[in-house]
Amino acid sequence: TPYTYTATSSVAVHRGIKPIYVDVKKDTFEMDIDKVAEKITEKTRVIMPVDIAGVPFDYDGLKKVLKD
């Protein structure tokens, strides 16, 4: 999202890792968890959600997607 700080993905870039971005939900600024599942491949090593504007990300929802 353009509302976050670039350092979030810069860490990956500096390590030679290609970030794959997931769009946000239309009604919030949260990463769309349903779209995360579509992006996961055997090459996925890290998922970096971002808390924004003092609102914590839905980590429980992400854990559920990762278990499935």
pLDDT of residue 64: 94
Report the pLDDT value the prediction gives residue 2, as an integer from 0 to 100.
58
The tokens describing 12, both together, are 């990956």
Query: How many CB atoms are closer than 10 A to CB 33?
Result: 20
pLDDT of residue 58: 93
1 touches 29 (CB < 8 A): yes
* Identity of the residue numbered 47: I
Tokens of 20: 């794959």
Residue 64 CA to residue 7 CA, distance in Å, equals 27
pLDDT in tens, the chain (68 residues): 556 677 788 888 999 988 898 988 888 888 899 999 999 999 998 898 888 888 899 999 999 999 98
